[in-house]
Amino acid sequence: MSEDDERQQSPPSDLEFVSNKARNCNATGSGSGHPEFQSTYPDQVLENVLENVLHFLTSRRDRNAASLVCKSWYRVEALTRSELFIGNCYAVSPGRATARFTRVKALHLKGKPRFADFNLMPPDWGAHFNPWALAMAKAYPWLEKVHLKRMSVTDDDLATLAELFLGFKELVLVCCDGFGTSGLAIFVSKCRQLKVLDLIESEVSDDETDWISCFPEGESNLESLIFDCVECHINFEALDRLVARSPSLKKLKLNRYVSIGQLYRLMVRAPQLTHLGTGSFSPSDIAGQGDQEPDYVAAFAACRSLVCLSGFREIIPDYLPAIYPVCANLTSLNFSYANITAEQLKPIISKCHKLQTFWVLDSICDEGLQAVAATCKDLRELRVFPVDPREDNDGPVSEVGLQAISEGCRKLQSILYFCQRMTNAAVIAMSKNCPDLVVFRLCIMGRHRPDPVTGEPMDDGFGAIVMNCKKLTRLAVSGLLTDKAFDYIGRHGKLVRTLSVAFAGDSDMALKYVLEGCPQLQKLEIRDSPFGDAALRSGLHHYYNMRFLWMSSCRLTRHGCQEIARAMPRLVVEVIRSADEEEMDDVVGTLYMYRSLEGPRTDAPKFVTIL
Amino acid sequence: IKEQEEIEAKAIQIGSKDRSKKRVEASCFVSMEVGRKMANMLGTDHDLNFKETELCLGLPGGIAVVAAGNETESSSSPKTNGKRGFSETVDLKLNLQSKESTMDLNKNLDDNGSKEKSGSAKDPAKPPAKAQVVGWPPVRSYRKNIMANQKNSSEESGNSGAALVKVSMDGAPYLRKVDLKMYKSYQELSDALAKMFSSFTMGNYGPQGMIDFMNESKLMDLLNSSDYVPSYEDKDGDWMLVGDVPW
């Protein structure tokens, strides 16, 4: 049976944090024939059976549970885990991970916390891929796939991946930085088995290297090439030839330096595409008279398998009708870089009956959202981004749009909605109309904005969401919120795993409600809210169950955080200083704390103090 | 004691200067308010010709103020959203006030952000917008940069190198020029041309019973009816139907 610690410190589900088992199974140099590992014949049979059965277990949560059954299961599970997911790269060292899991083919690693995306963390904080690259090269030479999010990746790391892993097939970099086109060039030239190269919202520096030309000649295995975030010109002729020799290519997302004329040529080459990012969607010259325009409609019509469409980075709306032939089959449409009006949207969206994922700019206004609600009955995910992300503007979308969506899209599971005004009534309506909501993220851009109709705080709206949406696991709140809203969250948000709070709450009680009430809470990010040391203390029972806690511009003091660090040895408590803060200031600018098996990291920069 | 009195006297002087400056500013607000209301009234009536016939001190579109009062010729580049930007109204209506206060108010407007795109003018008495907070609203800088670039490139293409084209109408005494980049569709161009040429009086009708161009609403009806279709002669000398080629 399992050798659990006390319930409060029971191992968290997504981290291999089992002190007893670590002692037994941890690599202490070469194994010295521990008696339990000398199995007798029936045990061997059992292990073989287990091994075969566990191969079918893919969900990492199931695997974590299986590994806790007994030592034998722990061992077999470790041998059969081929995809390793590490939600915080500092929670465990590369050495420890490779020691336990010896047959990993795919690594999924996450680094910086999400608030780093909004310039709340100084650059060079950490999350370097390099030590992992080197450790993997030794432990898993057969590694095929690496998926990184918010990590710092260098050109050298890319070279390592290409040179030391002969069968490397898939690289996905999401919100990463630290590399450039020269790193890409080395990577693609040496990675002969490459199937997937997906660069998503990453910062790629322009070293003026023509990396597209560096793909090896001959037939390529490419199935997915996504580079819409790469802000450099590319060699189009080379790309054209590459697409021509990639018969398996299904996903292609172009950057904004590809004109619509060039897009046409690529589409004609690859009508088998399922996912297409259209690049600029405008012609390279503006007043290009005389030249006959290609038949864009025909090109789209030929792509019978197209289900996911994005791009439109510099759209000329008159070309939009070209996509009519594919609308009926689309399950995913991303217009979030296309500044189009409701009138321009309507003829498109009215054809998109199968749409499940829709990302769009608020330029379509409430009217555009009403059109979405009228047609997209199968919509699961909606994201509405602001064209003008500033406070105190008149916003084009409001509670009217949200209400319409809630009434038309009853199957909605995930919503991200930026707006300047919102009423409790509309949020309550959504909580009742869309019971399947798993993710509810509402960003009322003006800080501390109350309900404009009633003048009340937004407590009741968010309260209704946690009460009525029984499957809710992710919540982001905004607007004027008192402690009452957090009381609701603590009482009813029993499945909430991720919570984002900004400019909200009145007192420590708010944070207490959440830390005491939400047993599934794993990621908590808070900024500019009046929560102090007492509130921090109220979460001591829970911090080992969480991936991280972020609190910036709150009311924490250094000695308050020190207390936490002392009480919880397996927690790394980082105090991050901004430029104008002194090291010995008692006020804490940013607290970032996370559980870890390794203790304080050795690569912390000067502006980070680990308590 | 005498020194003190002198100091006090100076203080009073300074105080009264401030007060008079405030008075000037206050009257600026009032006239701006009136000016703004008028601009809105005019602006919202997009289809009527008020803007074209309005007496003003300069060309709408933010071009430098011209002193002459009786220029009625419409500018060659009308704004397509039909509303005059707030800052332009200020320029036109406030040149009678002190330069200082105009500058102050313009600075205020800059803080509030350009309203031309959204089309709504801000109440000048409202305090300037809150200082932008780091990382708020939570939009990734990646996305923010892209939207900013898009805005810049659309502004750039609007300002640099207009696509100017000569337009002549049979019987009109002189030609006009239009900037094609000011329009987003054939309909808009057609409407603008109609307005442009409707101001000419025609003393005689053509032999085939030509349309009465003086009557602008008739012209608009005509253009929108099915009896006539807009067409053009392309570079090969062929008459083409407007609309086949995307704008």
Q: Would an 8 Å CB–CB cutoff place B140 in contact with chain A? A: yes
Residue A457 near residue A485 (C-beta atoms within 8 A): yes
Per mean pLDDT, which range of B15-19, B138-142, B233-237 is the poorest? Answer: B15-19
Judged on CB neighbours under 10 Å (0-12, 13-18, 19+), A126 is middle
Per mean pLDDT, which range of A268-277, A326-335, B2-11, B187-196 is the poorest? Answer: B2-11
Q: How near does any CA of chain A get to the CA of B45, in Å? A: 20
Residue B91 has pLDDT above 50, yes or no: no
Q: Per-residue pLDDT tens for A461-496?
A: 999 999 999 999 999 999 999 999 999 999 999 999
Q: Is B129–A447 a contact, with Cβ atoms under 8 angstroms apart?
A: no
Q: Is A289–B235 a contact, with Cβ atoms under 8 angstroms apart?
A: yes
As a whole number, mean pLDDT of residues A529-543 equals 96
Give residue A602's pLDDT.
95
Q: Is B134–A290 a contact, with Cβ atoms under 8 angstroms apart?
A: no
For residues A554 and A547, give the distance between their C-alpha atoms in angstroms, rounded to a whole number. 20
Question: How many other C-beta atoms are found inside a 10 Å radius of the C-beta of residue B103?
Answer: 10
Give residue A24's pLDDT.
43
Q: Which residues of A touch B132 (CB under 8 A)?
A: 390-391
Judged on CB neighbours under 10 Å (0-12, 13-18, 19+), B90 is buried
Residue B58 near residue B75 (C-beta atoms within 8 A): no
Phi-psi region of A299 (alpha: psi -120 to 50; beta: other; left: phi over 0): alpha
Residue of chain B whose alpha carbon sits nearest to that of A388: B147
Give residue B57's pLDDT.
52
Q: Is B130–A314 a contact, with Cβ atoms under 8 angstroms apart?
A: no
Q: What is the mean pLDDT of chain A?
A: 91
Residue whose token pair is 């006239």: B31
Query: CA B47 → CA B83, B84, B89, distances in Å?
Result: 12, 14, 20
Give residue B224's pLDDT.
64
Q: Which residues of A touch B159 (CB under 8 A)?
A: none
Q: Chain centroid to CA B44: how far?
A: 12
Q: How many residues does chain B have?
A: 247
Query: CA A23 → CA A20, A524, A600, B38, distances in Å?
Result: 5, 31, 20, 81
Q: What is the mean pLDDT of chain B?
A: 56
| Residue B167 DSSP label | E
Question: How many other C-beta atoms are found inside a 10 Å radius of the C-beta of residue A192?
Answer: 15
Residue A580 near residue A587 (C-beta atoms within 8 A): no
For residues A76 and A54, give the distance between their C-alpha atoms in angstroms, rounded to a whole number. 8
**Paired strand residues for A360:** A335, A384
Q: Per-residue pLDDT tens for A327-348?
A: 999 999 999 999 999 999 999 9
> Considering its fold, how many domains does chain B have in total?
1
Q: Would an 8 Å CB–CB cutoff place A1 in contact with chain B? A: no
Give residue A306's pLDDT.
98
Q: Per-residue pLDDT tens for A226-248?
A: 999 999 999 999 999 999 999 99
| Residue A275 DSSP label | E
Q: Which residues of B touch A319 (CB under 8 A)?
A: 246
Residue B77 has pLDDT above 60, yes or no: no
Residue of chain B whose alpha carbon sits nearest to that of A385: B139
Give residue B162's pLDDT.
61
User: Does B66 map to a domain?
Assistant: no
Residue A16 has pLDDT above 60, yes or no: no
* Peptide bond just before A396 cis, omega within 30 deg: no
Listing DSSP states for A318-334 in one string gives GGGGGGHHHHTT-SEEE
Give residue B148's pLDDT.
82
Residue A256 has pLDDT above 80, yes or no: yes
Q: Is A443–B133 a contact, with Cβ atoms under 8 angstroms apart?
A: no
Helix (H, G, I), strand (E, B) or coil at A478: coil
Q: Is A418–B137 a contact, with Cβ atoms under 8 angstroms apart?
A: yes
User: Does B202 map to a domain?
Assistant: yes
Judged on CB neighbours under 10 Å (0-12, 13-18, 19+), A575 is buried
Residue of A366, A280, A284, A276 lying closest to A329 (CA atoms): A276
Q: Is B246–A293 a contact, with Cβ atoms under 8 angstroms apart?
A: yes
Which of B:43-72 have CB within 8 Å of A? none
Which among B126, B147, B238 is the top mutation candidate for probing chain A, defined by the most A β-carbons within 10 Å of its own β-carbon? B147
ipTM over 0.85? The verdict is no
The band of B242, judged by pLDDT with boundaries at 50, 70 and 90, is confident
User: Does B98 map to a domain?
Assistant: no
Q: Is A313–B247 a contact, with Cβ atoms under 8 angstroms apart?
A: no
Q: Per-residue pLDDT tens for B122-164?
A: 444 444 445 678 899 999 988 988 888 777 766 655 444 567 7
Which among A297, A363, A390 is the top mutation candidate for probing chain B, defined by the most B β-carbons within 10 Å of its own β-carbon? A390
Q: How near does any CA of chain A get to the CA of B41, in Å? A: 20
pLDDT above 90: percentage of residues in chain A: 84
Give residue B161's pLDDT.
53
Per mean pLDDT, which range of A34-43, A182-191, A448-457, B160-169 is the poorest? Answer: A34-43
Residue B82 has pLDDT above 70, yes or no: no
For residues A577 and A37, give the distance between their C-alpha atoms in angstroms, rounded to a whole number. 49
Residue A255 near residue A229 (C-beta atoms within 8 A): yes
Give residue A282's pLDDT.
92
User: Does B221 map to a domain?
Assistant: yes
Q: Which helix H or strand E contains A282, and what residues bound it?
A: none
Under 8 Å CB-to-CB from A128, ≥6 apart: which residues?
A151, A152, A603
Q: Which helix H or strand E contains B213, and what residues bound it?
A: none
The band of B206, judged by pLDDT with boundaries at 50, 70 and 90, is very low
For residues A121 and A202, give the distance between their C-alpha atoms in angstroms, rounded to a whole number. 17
Per mean pLDDT, which range of A142-156, A492-506, B223-237 is the poorest? Answer: B223-237
Q: Which residues of A touch B139 (CB under 8 A)?
A: 118, 385-386, 389, 418
User: Does B206 map to a domain?
Assistant: yes
As a whole number, mean pLDDT of residues A375-403 equals 92
Q: Would an 8 Å CB–CB cutoff place B114 in contact with chain A? A: no
Per mean pLDDT, which range of A459-468, A547-556, B9-18 is the poorest? Answer: B9-18
E strands, A82-213, in order: 83-86, 106-110, 145-149, 170-174, 179-180, 196-200, 204-205
Q: Is B143–A117 a contact, with Cβ atoms under 8 angstroms apart?
A: no
User: Does B166 map to a domain?
Assistant: no
Under 8 Å CB-to-CB from A181, ≥6 apart: which residues?
A204, A205, A206, A207, A208, A209, A210, A211, A230, A232
Structure tokens at A594: 């996370």
Q: Is A393–B118 a contact, with Cβ atoms under 8 angstroms apart?
A: yes
Q: Which residues of B touch A117 (CB under 8 A)?
A: 138, 140-141
Q: Per-residue pLDDT tens for A561-602?
A: 999 999 999 999 999 987 666 666 788 999 999 999 999 999
Residue A271 near residue A243 (C-beta atoms within 8 A): no
Give residue A492's pLDDT.
97
Q: How near does any CA of chain B get to the CA of A335, in Å? A: 12
Residue B113 has pLDDT above 50, yes or no: no
Domains of chain A as residue ranges with CATH: 42-80 (1.20.1280.50)
Which of A:124-163 have CB within 8 Å of B? none
Residue of A200, A281, A197, A286 lying closest to A239 (CA atoms): A197
Residue B222 near residue B228 (C-beta atoms within 8 A): yes
| Among candidates A386, A390, A445 on the partner chain, residue whose Cβ is nearest the Cβ of B113 | A390
User: Does B203 map to a domain?
Assistant: yes
| Among candidates B134, B139, B247 on the partner chain, residue whose Cβ is nearest the Cβ of A389 | B139
Query: CA A384 → CA A255, A263, A266, A293, A488, distances in Å?
Result: 21, 26, 30, 33, 26
Residue A374 has pLDDT above 60, yes or no: yes
**Paired strand residues for A332:** A308, A357
Give residue B62's pLDDT.
40
User: Does B235 map to a domain?
Assistant: yes
Residue whose token pair is 């102090």: A532
Alpha helices in A102-201 (DSSP H): 130-139, 155-164, 181-190
Residue B3 near residue B60 (C-beta atoms within 8 A): no
Residue A173 has pLDDT above 70, yes or no: yes
Torsion angles phi and psi, residue A593, rounded to 5: -130, 145
pLDDT above 70: percentage of residues in chain B: 30
Q: Would an 8 Å CB–CB cutoff place A389 in contact with chain B? A: yes
| Among candidates B113, B133, B137 on the partner chain, residue whose Cβ is nearest the Cβ of A443 | B137
Q: Is A118–B135 a contact, with Cβ atoms under 8 angstroms apart?
A: yes
The more confidently predicted of residues B66 and A122 is A122
Under 8 Å CB-to-CB from A174, ≥6 apart: which residues?
A147, A148, A149, A150, A198, A200, A201, A202
For residues A249 and A221, give the distance between their C-alpha atoms in angstroms, rounded to a whole number. 8
Which of A:429-458 have CB within 8 Å of B? 443, 445, 447
Q: Which residues of B touch A392 (CB under 8 A)?
A: 129-130
Q: Would an 8 Å CB–CB cutoff place A501 in contact with chain B? A: no
Residue A379 near residue A411 (C-beta atoms within 8 A): yes
Residue type, B164: L
Give residue B154's pLDDT.
66
Q: Would an 8 Å CB–CB cutoff place B168 in contact with chain A? A: no
Q: Per-residue pLDDT tens for B25-63?
A: 444 444 444 444 444 444 444 445 555 555 545 444 443
Residue whose token pair is 């336990």: A100
Q: How near does any CA of chain A get to the CA of B113, in Å? A: 9
Q: Which domain holds residue B188?
A: 184-246
Helix (H, G, I), strand (E, B) or coil at A115: helix
Question: How many other C-beta atoms are found inside a 10 Å radius of the C-beta of residue A391?
Answer: 17
Residue of A190, A126, A182, A131 lying closest to A161 (CA atoms): A190
